[in-house]
Structure 1
Amino acid sequence: MDFLQILDDHVEPGGLVEWIPTVEGGLGSWQRDGRQTSHNHEQHLRAAFEYRARTQREGGRESWLGLAIDFDEPMSVPAVRAAMLAWIDRHEVLRTHVVLKYDHTERYSTPRGTVHLTMSRIGWYTETPLLLEQVAGSFDRATAPLHWPAYRFSTVARAESFTILFAADHSLVDGYSLVTAQYELTELYHAARDGRPHTLAPTNSYIEFSDAERGRADAADGSHPAVQTWREFLTTHGSVPRFAPLTPVDSSPEEPFDIEHPPQQSRTVRLLDDAQTQVLESLSAEAGGNLVAGLLAAMAIAYHRAAPDQEFAVVMPRHTRNDRAWLHALGWFVGLSPVAVDVSDSPDMPTATRRAAQGLRDGRHGASLPFLRVAELLGPPPAPRFVVSYMDTRGTPTATDADAGWARVLRSHSYSGDEVYIWLNRTPSGLRMHSRFPAEQPGPVLPFLGDFAQLLASTAATL
């Protein structure tokens, strides 16, 4: 399943309609909700507020994630409406809003069945680039995190097919949310079209998770394993990782919505097919690691060829869906772990794999406490600038169909001048890589990514 910057998607043109959530009476009719806000969500809101105060613009354009799902049949407007409303009722995170106060937050929520959808016909498009420019602009404006709704649906209808598009601010969703969402929205649409009950299993609410996580995090102190992990890492490395071959630019980690830089470049590559990925996984296991360790080992070797650093260091997001109750919940279930691999002696793949496996073990506790709570206890380090994410989508129903291209996860632009993000996705068809990096100086990144891909291909061809 691809993870594309929206303008790189391939939605066929057609009639564009926006579906805008509304509640009768507005937020004034909502109920005060005493459940606490996660650290991730609160800090996200404060960053957006600071950006708005500084620039007089809303800070939503580069922090949303989304989805595109293709249907090979004429669109049923009643079924589309019913599916979207059922999904909003299913996931409480879409029916809640957090208001930022000086020293705290206040949550307001609305019950199931109170959200309605306003259908707005935008027009008929005959060219995909113009269509996606319109959709991207609409999503940029609609997903501002300080407002509700910080999400929006669109549909593009054609005579014999249609596409559902969705975008939400990152405070409401993460990558796994959207991998699951492609299946849920498809099932809800087909159930509404066929006049039958849907077959989705019940799911719990991210708001319950946020409340419990916040309570545990606020009770943590400097003895927490996550704090100790990050303290040791920061003591050794001095700061969070960055992509060293990049020449430093005038970009502040305190300005996540920096508009001085052009949109980042992105790359999408299929690294290995399924058989090759299985070979890499076997070789990684023989070396004492797993597939993730093997991938990090290859990346560490490629990085050492591109950078003078004696150690490959990255930040890795890890999902915090540690209870099956949260498996299919929509929300931001993400912690951050530091990972370091010694490459000072230019290790071979088996050696680097063993070291990467140890680095993953050493850093695993880092994600057990929200990074922002760690920062409160240690003193705020800069935001991560070099991030590598791994996700396995094979356990999702209809994963094979989605991987064939009928569903894609989408992301907004990023405008950073020094961030490098790499997403590695294990799918039914193999291994895919998606990346974004500064547009102003992509030179060091592209050879590194190419070397990494070549090393994986040559390793997987050894059996």
Structure 2
Amino acid sequence: MRQFPLEMHGMAPGRVVEWRLRSTAGPEPAAETEGRRASFNQDKHFTVAEESRGADDPVASWLAVTFEVSEDLDEEAMTRALLAFVRRHEVLRCEFRRLAGELACEPIPPAELALAVHPVASFDSAPELVGFLSERFQRSIDTLAWPLFTMGAVLRPGSATVYLAFDHIVCDGLSMPIVVQEVQDAYEALRRGEQPDEQPAPSYLDFAEEQRRRYLSFGAGDARLGYWKDFIARGGGEFFPRFPLELGVEPGLMYPIVNEASPLLDAAETEVFDKACREAGGKAFMGVLAAVAVCLRDAGGPGVYRGFMPVSERGRSGWSQSVGWFVNTMPIEFDASPGRGFAEVVAGVRAGFGAMMDHIDVPFVRAWELLAPAEFAARSWPYPVNFFSYIDMRKCPGAERHADWRPASHVWSARANGVCSWFQRDAEGLHMNSIYVDTPAARHTMAAFQEALRRTVTEIARHGSFGRPIGLAAPRGPVGAALGVSGYGYAARG
């Protein structure tokens, strides 16, 4: 399972159907009760949506997952499987509304939900189908309106592609494999004449409640913010670590995006790379981050790597099978100065990661609000930010069936003012997906950076070292040629 633009999917055309969710309780005035409280992540996300809508400058994005059914789809069984999935996860049943200034969650009781399948359209070509789905996701997912996701399938004789697309307010990247496993397990159980699991999963709303209880009342002087304050001080007083390469953006402006993905290593190369990282005293993600830091440095960036890294909070208290936004974004810093070998930089990554994890409990949104209130009031990060994400999809729920289900995840955003890169490892190797501003400078920078990174991780796999400095010289030929060095490349305009 890997993450790449929906336009790269190569989805075969067919007949599109959608499952539409509704409450059977009927229209009733919203009760003025306290209800449940949204998480810090959800509150900030919803606030940005409210403010951008009020300014007639809507912020739009979605996360989606697709997977395959290798038979004629049993629409009744899939309907029941999807309904069981939605009923299990309280956050998917939530309506969000402002109440006394705070964001409240009102879950719809599971028994009051109904789901029905509806025909939508038929397509004879893959590009028309994917274009339709992309537009459909954009139009049907609204942070300010329930339901906060859409479900459907592309039906063909002997096969089907099932899709679910979500607003970020109800899920994160690690929710996607959970979605696939639960829906497929329920569907296969129903096809065998068995009942799917409808027991409630541990609720993200409980996680949010615990987090708010611990951190809503603490202030800027709290000792638990010491790690953040030290990081900010070492960065010259800036809360956000800057992306160090030229992207050609103007302050305060947002741009259309490029959304692209490419392979870095195949399966065999990734195994050798993993071994080299372990011999250096680290893990594969540490080796990838070390390579990223050295490539940025060789392109003119600083010798000390400073960036943001999202970290899952699922494992702490039993939410490993729950859908929700269980992500904390934390700063990480380590030395990647010239002259330091691979093992030395990996040791720095390991130490930096350990220090970061010692302070993982402090929610990013609260640190942002307390330590950078001016930037917190804005609707976006103030400038291009250095951001690194890594997921080993082989360790996700249901990974043992991924060869059968062929799942993929997809992200999209209407606009950006910087760059975000996600790295995934799966059974087929190591892959990279980036969303960045669509400017000539950014296209040049990112194409050359990806080529340099691919060469660097290959050098690590072969020799356990960075090799000679590569730098980000002008790529050979057009940008597309640099992206296609290892087999394929794609750039999708947002």
Q: TM-score, normalised by structure 1?
A: 0.91
Q: Does 1:213 align with 2:211?
A: yes
Q: Judging changes above 3 Å, is the alpha-carbon distance between structure 1 residues 276 and 295 closer, same or farther for their aligned structure 2 residues? A: same
Q: Does 1:315 align with 2:308?
A: yes
Contact map agreement 1:85 1:117 (CA 8 A) in 2: yes
**1:452 maps to which residue?**
453
Q: Judging changes above 3 Å, is the alpha-carbon distance between structure 1 residues 251 and 138 closer, same or farther for their aligned structure 2 residues? A: farther
**2:51 maps to which residue?**
50
**2:140 maps to which residue?**
142
1:46-85 matches, within 5 Å, as: 46-55=47-56, 58-59=58-59, 61-62=60-61, 64-85=62-83
Contact map agreement 1:140 1:412 (CA 8 A) in 2: no
**1:267 maps to which residue?**
260
Q: Distance in 2 between matches of 1:134 and 1:26?
A: 31
**1:166 maps to which residue?**
164
Q: Distance in 1 between matches of 2:154 and 2:368?
A: 43
**RMSD (Å) for aligned C-alpha atoms:** 2.4
Q: Does 1:335 align with 2:348?
A: no
Q: Does 1:325 align with 2:318?
A: yes
Superposition deviation, residue 92 in structure 1: 0.9
1:19-418 matches, within 5 Å, as: 19-26=19-26, 28=28, 32=33, 34-55=35-56, 58-59=58-59, 61-62=60-61, 64-101=62-99, 103-198=101-196, 203-222=201-220, 227-237=225-235, 238-239=237-238, 240-252=240-252, 258=254, 261-262=255-256, 264-323=257-316, 325-380=318-373, 381=375, 383=381, 385-402=385-402, 406-416=406-416, 418=417
Q: Deviations over 1:256-287 (max 9, x none)?
A: xx4xx22x223322322344333333332333
Q: Deviations over 1:417-443 (max 9, x none)?
A: x32111111223332222222221311
Q: Judging changes above 3 Å, is the alpha-carbon distance between structure 1 residues 233 and 460 closer, same or farther for their aligned structure 2 residues? A: same
Q: Distance in 2 between matches of 1:74 and 1:47?
A: 42
Q: Distance in 1 between matches of 2:220 and 2:67?
A: 45
Q: Distance in 2 between matches of 1:274 and 1:29?
A: 56
The amino acid that maps onto 2:15 is G
Superposition deviation, residue 400 in structure 1: 4.6
Q: Judging changes above 3 Å, is the alpha-carbon distance between structure 1 residues 376 and 347 closer, same or farther for their aligned structure 2 residues? A: same
Q: Distance in 1 between matches of 2:385 and 2:27?
A: 36
Contact map agreement 1:399 1:428 (CA 8 A) in 2: no
Contact map agreement 1:2 1:403 (CA 8 A) in 2: no
Q: Distance in 2 between matches of 1:79 and 1:30?
A: 33
**1:430 maps to which residue?**
429
**More divergent stretch after superposition (21-30 vs 266-275):** 21-30
Superposition deviation, residue 109 in structure 1: 1.6
Secondary structure of the residue aligned to 1:394 is helix
Q: Judging changes above 3 Å, is the alpha-carbon distance between structure 1 residues 225 and 331 closer, same or farther for their aligned structure 2 residues? A: farther
Q: Distance in 1 between matches of 2:198 and 2:402?
A: 18
Superposition deviation, residue 226 in structure 1: 5.2
Secondary structure of the residue aligned to 1:434 is strand
Q: Does 1:5 align with 2:5?
A: yes
Contact map agreement 1:226 1:367 (CA 8 A) in 2: no
The amino acid that maps onto 1:337 is M
Q: Distance in 1 between matches of 2:319 and 2:434?
A: 27
Contact map agreement 1:73 1:161 (CA 8 A) in 2: yes
Q: Distance in 1 between matches of 2:425 and 2:320?
A: 18
Q: Distance in 2 between matches of 1:401 and 1:251?
A: 46
Secondary structure of the residue aligned to 2:28 is helix
Q: Deviations over 1:352-404 (max 9, x none)?
A: 11111122123224532221111222233473722111112223354254267
Q: Distance in 1 between matches of 2:276 and 2:329?
A: 27
Q: Deviations over 1:138-190 (max 9, x none)?
A: 11122211111111101110111111110110010111111121111111111
Contact map agreement 1:400 1:428 (CA 8 A) in 2: no
**1:421 maps to which residue?**
420
Contact map agreement 1:30 1:109 (CA 8 A) in 2: no
The amino acid that maps onto 1:139 is F
Q: TM-score, normalised by structure 2?
A: 0.85
For structure 1, the 5+ residue unaligned runs are none
For structure 2, the 5+ residue unaligned runs are 465-494
Secondary structure of the residue aligned to 2:68 is strand
Superposition deviation, residue 251 in structure 1: 5.0
